[in-house]
C-alpha cells in the first residue's frame, strides 16, 4: 500500500478559471494522485508522497473543461523533467511551423519571435538559425540553462501580464508569440492572454497549440488529465477567453499530434477572421460544446478502458509473461495511478530522456531505464504509455520488435502490435 500525505501547495476552486462563473459541473473524478512529473530518487521512494485531488469539471457559462485543483506553479515547474528535444516528432513539428511562419509573415533580422514555456529551445532554434531575433520565456531553471547553452536567449520566469508589462517597458514588441501546450498549464488564463495582447505588435500574431477537448472525449484520452493541465479547450472556450482580453482568433487548424491538437492564430484584427474559425465554431455548436450531456459519458468510457486493459494484463501475467512499460510520461503516470498498475504487473519503465533515467515513477515507484533495457531484458510485452508518439517509438524499437517483443497500445483503442 503506497503512503501519501496531504499538501499545502494547492488550492481548490469552485469558480471557472476563464469566466469566473460559480457553477461548475462534475465530469470525472480520478481521486487523489501524486504529481505526474514528480519523479522520485531512490531515497524519496522511502518517504510518503504528496497527493492532490484530480477532478474534471465543466463550466456551462463559457464551455471550459477544467480541473478544480491548482497546484503552485513554483512547485510544478521550477525544476522539470520534460525536454522537448528528446522527441524527433516534436522537433519536426517545430521546424515545420517555424519555416512556415518565417515565410508567411516575411520575418527578418528586424523581427522578434517570443515563445512562452520555450523549454530547451527546441522551437526557437529554427528561427535563430534563420537569423531572426528570439526570446524564450521558461520558468524551469534547469531547462532554461539548457536553452541558453544551446544559444537561445531565455528569461527564466513565468509569463503573465506582469512580465509582459516589464518586457513592454524594456522596448520589446513581438511579431510572433508561440505558446505550445502551455495555456492549459496556467492558473491565470486571463492574465496570460492579456499579456499576449500587450506584447504583440498591432500586426503581430500569437500561435497557440492546445490539446483539443473533443479528441480527449472521443478518444478516451483520460491520461491527458493531470495537475499540470488545468484546462481542456474547445475553440468555443478559447474564442470567448481571447475576446475577453482584446484578441480574436483569426485562424485555426486541427492537428493529429498529442492525440488531437488545436492550433489557433490570434491577433488584434477582427476583419482577419477566416471561414475555418466560423466553420469549427458552428461544428462545435452542433455537437454540443455548451451542453454538459456531451461530456457526461466520458467517465463510463474510461471505466470501460480500465476493465479492458486490466483484463489483458492479468491474462498475460497469468501466462507468466514479463511486461515492461515505455515512457515515464505524465500521461503514463495518470494511467498507472488511476488504474492501479504497479510493480505487481510491470517490471520497469524505459524512457529516452536522460534526465528521467535513474529515477522512479510517482506513485507506482517503477525504476526508469534507458530504452536499451528492452533489448537487454526482452520482455514479451511493453505497455506504450507515450502512445501519442507511437509511430516514432515503434520505428526506434524495430530491433526489439524483430526479436519478438510486442507493444500494447492502450489509447484510443486497446491493441497489441
Tens of pLDDT, residue by residue over 111-166, are 999 999 999 999 999 999 999 999 999 998 888 999 999 999 999 999 999 999 99
Pairing of strands 25-33, 52-58: antiparallel
Task: Count Cβ atoms within 10 A of the Cβ of residue 413 and give its class: 0-12 exposed, 13-18 middle, 19 or more buried.
Answer: exposed
- Residue 95, pLDDT > 90, answer yes
The answer as to whether 15 is a domain residue is no
pLDDT in tens, 343-364: 999 999 999 998 899 999 999 9
What residues does 174 pair with on adjacent strands? 200
Cell of 327: 515512457
Beta strands in 74-216 (DSSP E): 113-116, 134-137, 154-155, 174-180, 200-211
pLDDT of residue 246: 96
The answer as to whether 331 is a domain residue is yes
The answer as to whether 405 is a domain residue is yes
Cell of 352: 529516452
The answer as to whether 398 is a domain residue is yes
The answer as to whether 395 is a domain residue is yes
CATH code, domain with 360: 3.40.50.720
The answer as to whether 275 is a domain residue is no
Instruction: Give the residue with greater pLDDT, 78 vs 2.
Output: 78
> Span 391-417, mean pLDDT?
96
Cα separation, 237 vs 59, whole angstroms: 10
pLDDT in tens, 106-117: 999 999 999 999
Torsion of CA 284, 290, 292, 293, to 10 degrees: -50
> In terms of Cα–Cα distance, which of 325, 324, 321 is closest to 333?
325
Radius of gyration of the chain (CA): 21
What are the distances in angstroms from CA 253 to CA 233, 235, 244?
14, 10, 22
Cα separation, 160 vs 72, whole angstroms: 15
The answer as to whether 355 is a domain residue is yes
Q: Contact at 8 Å (CB) between 21 and 66?
A: no
pLDDT of residue 7: 46
Give the residue numbers spanning the domain of 363.
Answer: 299-416
The answer as to whether 412 is a domain residue is yes
Cα separation, 384 vs 386, whole angstroms: 6
Q: What are the b/e assignments for 292-319, b being 16+ CB within 10 Å?
A: eebbeebbebbeebbeebeebbeebeee
Domain count, the chain: 1
Amino acid at each position: 500500500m503506497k503512503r501519501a500525505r496531504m499538501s499545502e501547495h494547492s488550492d481548490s476552486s469552485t469558480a471557472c478559471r476563464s469566466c469566473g462563473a460559480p457553477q461548475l459541473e462534475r465530469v470525472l473524478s480520478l481521486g487523489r494522485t501524486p504529481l505526474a512529473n514528480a519523479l522520485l530518487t531512490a531515497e524519496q521512494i522511502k518517504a510518503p508522497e504528496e497527493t492532490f485531488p484530480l477532478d474534471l469539471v465543466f463550466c456551462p457559462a463559457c464551455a471550459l473543461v477544467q480541473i478544480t485543483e491548482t497546484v503552485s506553479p513554483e512547485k510544478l515547474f521550477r525544476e522539470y523533467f520534460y525536454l522537448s528535444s528528446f522527441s524527433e516528432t516534436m522537433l519536426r513539428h517545430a521546424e515545420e511551423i517555424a519555416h512556415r511562419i518565417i515565410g508567411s509573415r516575411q520575418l527578418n533580422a528586424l523581427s522578434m519571435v517570443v515563445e512562452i514555456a520555450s523549454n530547451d529551445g527546441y522551437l526557437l532554434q529554427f528561427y535563430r538559425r534563420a537569423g531572426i531575433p528570439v526570446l524564450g520565456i521558461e520558468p524551469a531553471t534547469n531547462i532554461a540553462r539548457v536553452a541558453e547553452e544551446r544559444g537561445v536567449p531565455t528569461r527564466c520566469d513565468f509569463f503573465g501580464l506582469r512580465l509582459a508589462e516589464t518586457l513592454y517597458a524594456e522596448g520589446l514588441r513581438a511579431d510572433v508569440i508561440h505558446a505550445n501546450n502551455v495555456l492549459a498549464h496556467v492558473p491565470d488564463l486571463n492574465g496570460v492572454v492579456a499579456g499576449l495582447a500587450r506584447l504583440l505588435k498591432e500586426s503581430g500574431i500569437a500561435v497557440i497549440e492546445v490539446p483539443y477537448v473533443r479528441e480527449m472525449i472521443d478518444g478516451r484520452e483520460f491520461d491527458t488529465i493531470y495537475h499540470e493541465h488545468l484546462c481542456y479547450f474547445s475553440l468555443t472556450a478559447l474564442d470567448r477567453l481571447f475576446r475577453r482580453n482584446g484578441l480574436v482568433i483569426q485562424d485555426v487548424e486541427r492537428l493529429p499530434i498529442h492525440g488531437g491538437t488545436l492550433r489557433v492564430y490570434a491577433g488584434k484584427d477582427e476583419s482577419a477572421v477566416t471561414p475555418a474559425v466560423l466553420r469549427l465554431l458552428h461544428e462545435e455548436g452542433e455537437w454540443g460544446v455548451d451542453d454538459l450531456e456531451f461530456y457526461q459519458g466520458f467517465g463510463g468510457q474510461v471505466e470501460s478502458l480500465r476493465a479492458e486493459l486490466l483484463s489483458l494484463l492479468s491474462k498475460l501475467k497469468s501466462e507468466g509473461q514479463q511486461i515492461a512499460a515505455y515512457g515515464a510520461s505524465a500521461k503514463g503516470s495518470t494511467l498507472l495511478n488511476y488504474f492501479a498498475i504497479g510493480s505487481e504487473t510491470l517490471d520497469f519503465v524505459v524512457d529516452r530522456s536522460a534526465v528521467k533515467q535513474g529515477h522512479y515513477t510517482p506513485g507506482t515507484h517503477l525504476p526508469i531505464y534507458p530504452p536499451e533495457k528492452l533489448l537487454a531484458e526482452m520482455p514479451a510485452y511493453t505497455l506504450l504509455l507515450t502512445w501519442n508518439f507511437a509511430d516514432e517509438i515503434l520505428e526506434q524499437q524495430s530491433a526489439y520488435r524483430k526479436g519478438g517483443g510486442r507493444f500494447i497500445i492502450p489509447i484510443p483503442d486497446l491493441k497489441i502490435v
